[in-house]
Structure formats: C-alpha cells, structure tokens
Structure 1
Amino acid sequence: MFGIRSKIYCPKQRYIERLLMSSSLLDVYIKVIRGDCDVTNSILRLEPGVSVTMTRVSPGRTMSSHILRINNGDPEEIKSQLLRRGVRLVRILGNNTLWVRARSCSACSLLSREDCVVIEGSPISDTEITYRLLVPGLGALRDILRSLVSSGLQPVVIKRAEHIETRDLTPRQLEVLLFAYKKGYFDTPRRISLAEMAGMMGIRATSLRDILRRALKKIVRKYLIDMGFLVDQ
C-alpha cells in the first residue's frame, strides 16, 4: 500500500535526510487508542472510594513515567495498591501527586522508537491518550502515522503547526536532540554518556553539551509559554 524502501539508512543518515527535506520543525498532537497501559489498568482496579487521575506521561521504549493526581484517598495506601498491581515504582510528591514508573504501553513504546521527540502524553479517557510530538518534517510524520495504523492504535492528528521563528530549534539542534533521545541519553538510568555520544557523532563533548543545553532551553521555554506560565515576548 505504501510501497517498499529500496535503500537502507542508518539512524543518523535518516535524521539528516529528513532535516534536509524540511526546514520546519512540526509540533504535532496525535490521539491514539490503546488498552494496555499498566498504570491506567491499575487505577481502574483501585479499591472503592479511591479516586486518581493520570495527568501526564513521559514515554520510554520499555518504561514510562506517569504523573498522577490524587482526588480522594490516602497517598501511602494508593502507593501500596499500585505496587501490588504491577506498577514498578511509586514516589509520593506532596499531598496529592504521585510519580509512577511502569512498563510502557504499546503506544509509548512505539513512539519512543520513531523519528520524533515525545514532549508529553495527556490521557483523555481510559483508552485514549493525546501525545505532543516534535517531528522533523512531513515525511517523518507520515512514517509515524503508518506505524501507529499498522499497530492498530487508530491515530488521529488533532493539531499540526510549523515553527519558523528564529527561537525554534535549528536543524543541528534537532539532529542532536533526536540522536540523544534515541540513544537513551534521557532515560533513567542513562543508556549512553555524553562522551560516548559525542564520539559517535564526531564532535567534542563540550560542543555537544552546549547544543543540547540550547535545544532543551528552547523546548522548555515553548512548553512554559503554551502552559501559560510565561508570556511570549
């Protein structure tokens, strides 16, 4: 249906090729349907009288982090119930927030392997979740949608915007950020060091650190503006 690629690319070549095809970074919101989220399923099995809402997800290839808001119930008891139901790690943050680590669902695992950076995931029902992605061009977005469709996740693009302002990521910053993300630099624990990554990319560790710092600052700033914590000037 979609044709077969006649050429095989290494990951870094593919990143660079897509950056050359599109000078714009896409900010994309995609809704998918999945039923294999361990955290969601654990929440549904909590004892009567307990109310917990998942507010954010940070996807990983094998493990994902989740932020839960406690609407009703004792944090220690909820932590105990979640751990008994297969959640790997629960940290209590304040009186009504939990940080939870659990096995990645099919959607989180798939997206963490695609050519994109997952900024966040926001559940909207027991089976639906909306992801915000940074995608290096339309070609990468089409491939992501193909993968989601073939996995039965029923993707729907909710919003797509192109960024052309000078404060957005440069092609070099995006290349480095994608490479770091795919190699596990942002995983806990890290799967690769800054020095190892610099060697693979053929640049100095100090230069790589500076590129990453500038890129992450831009992403954090954009996120804070979108959330209403900063005013875009």
Structure 2
Amino acid sequence: MGAGDVKKPINVTLILQNHPCLVMKLFEEMNVKAEINNVKMRESVTDHIATLKLTEKLLKELKERRSKTLRISENSVWIRTEGCQVCKILYVSDAVVEKVKVVGSDAVMYKLIVPNLLSLKSLIDELNKIGVKAMVGSISELDEEQLTERQLEILKLSYKMGFFDVDRRITMTELAEKLGIKAPTLEEILRRALRKAVKYYLDKKG
C-alpha cells in the first residue's frame, strides 16, 4: 500500500523554517520580545494573539504600524494582518490547524490534522515552493475515540455562542467566520466531535 492509499486521518507536527510571518517580522523590527500564542487564519487576513511586556507607548506604536491592533489584557494583544503566504496555503489546504507556536526567530510549529499522507505531501510541496522548509516533527494516526484540542475548543465555543440552542443564535457560516475557517470544514469538525462526544456519553451510560 502506497502513501497515497492511506485513508485514516493523521496528526502531524510540522516545523516551518524561513516562515514569512508578518507579526514575527514586526516584532523583530521593533526589537520587541513577544510570544505568539494563537493564530486564526481567514481568507485574506490572519489574526494573531501575542504575549509581551505591553506598555502604553508600545501599544501606541503597534497601532501606528498595524491599525488593526487591540489590547486584550495587561500583557496580551490581538493583531490582524494580511495573511502571509503560509497562512494562505494552509487556509486552502485540507489541513485542520490545531495549534500554532512560534519556536524561533523565523520558525513556527504547527499541529495539524490532515486526511492522509498524500495531503501532507501536497501541503509540504506547496510550502517548499515558496521557500519555506517544512520538517515533520511527529506523525501518528488520529485517535478516533478522543477529542482533539481543536474539536474541544470548537465544541465549547459553539455551545457558548448558542449554536446548539433550539432557537439557534448563530449560524454555521457566522461561527466559521469567527473561527477563521470555511463552513464545510467547521461542519466536518463538528460532525466528528459530536460523534465522539455522543459515543463517550453512551459508553459511560452503558
């Protein structure tokens, strides 16, 4: 059986070097030490949550450089930029982004779920084309019985925002937009997550 014949979804950790992240570049230009904790990709923009020693002066400078900047807490800030090439590739790919973490001045770690090895190879090929070096840190078959971090996050948000209410307070499209993913992708994530949650409940009840 070849790599392309593998049908089961897989978890993969990718380390991307030479990453063209605009926010990483911004902090480097400003000589600011910051940690990017989360990234939400949309069709043409990317939202970043960063932790740093945030002063009023620094916040003002960030807003001058990036108008779409908001203070979230004492030491965290939300910044919206145009999507970099990596974000655009990931957005249109088959991959579901579970977690993003900056691990170096030009390196970012992504935890992804991809449908199969062929999809992973295609993603890596696209990244290589733009000069980004992609290294596989780990790879494993997806445990179909356990909710992933991303599935749990989306289930919680869907519940809090009233998606499961009888008089639904938010549509699938609206929820997908808030999460920075496409509606069909969200529908698939919810379907898989709900199946796991229901199975867990039924197994507990015997």
Whether these two folds match at TM > 0.5 is: yes
Once the two structures are superposed, what CA deviation does each residue of 1:58-83 show, in whole Å capped at 9, x if it has no partner?
Answer: 2334211111112x341x33232122
1:215 pairs, out of 174, 188, 192, with 192
- Name the count of aligned residue pairs: 169
Larger relative CO (CA 8 A, sep 6+): 1 or 2?
Answer: 2
CA distance in 2, matches of 1:100, 1:128: 19
Q: Which residue of 2 aligns with 1:186?
A: 176
Q: How does 1:105-144 map to 2 (within 5 A)?
A: 105-144=84-123
Q: How does 1:63-142 map to 2 (within 5 A)?
A: 63-70=45-52, 72-74=53-55, 76-85=56-65, 87-142=66-121
In terms of mean alpha carbon deviation, does 102-111 or 58-67 score higher? 58-67
Shift of 1:91: 2.0
User: Match of 1:215, SS?
Assistant: helix
- Asked if 1 retains the 8 angstrom alpha-carbon contact of 2:19 and 2:86, the reply is no
Once the two structures are superposed, what CA deviation does each residue of 1:150-188 show, in whole Å capped at 9, x if it has no partner?
Answer: 22111111111112433469xxxxxxxxxxxxx996234
Does residue 44 of structure 1 match 2:28?
A: yes
- Asked if 2 retains the 8 angstrom alpha-carbon contact of 1:56 and 1:123, the reply is no
Shift of 1:30: 0.8
CA distance in 1, matches of 2:175, 2:9: 21
In terms of mean alpha carbon deviation, does 22-31 or 32-41 score higher? 32-41
User: Match of 2:133, SS?
Assistant: coil
Structure 2 residue runs without a partner (length 5+):
149-172, 197-206
User: Match of 1:187, SS?
Assistant: helix
- Asked if 1 retains the 8 angstrom alpha-carbon contact of 2:37 and 2:49, the reply is yes
Q: Which residue of 1 aligns with 2:40?
A: 58
CA distance in 1, matches of 2:13, 2:195: 19
User: Match of 1:186, SS?
Assistant: helix
CA distance in 1, matches of 2:117, 2:138: 13
CA distance in 2, matches of 1:218, 1:92: 37
Q: 1:165 to 1:110 in 2, by over 3 A?
A: closer
Once the two structures are superposed, what CA deviation does each residue of 1:172-215 show, in whole Å capped at 9, x if it has no partner?
Answer: xxxxxxxxxxx9962349897x7xx6xxxxxxxxxx96x65453
CA distance in 2, matches of 1:166, 1:150: 36
Does residue 146 of structure 1 match 2:125?
A: yes
Does residue 161 of structure 1 match 2:140?
A: yes
Amino acid at match of 2:49: I
- Asked if 2 retains the 8 angstrom alpha-carbon contact of 1:51 and 1:73, the reply is no
- TM-score when normalising by structure 1: 0.60
Amino acid at match of 1:100: I
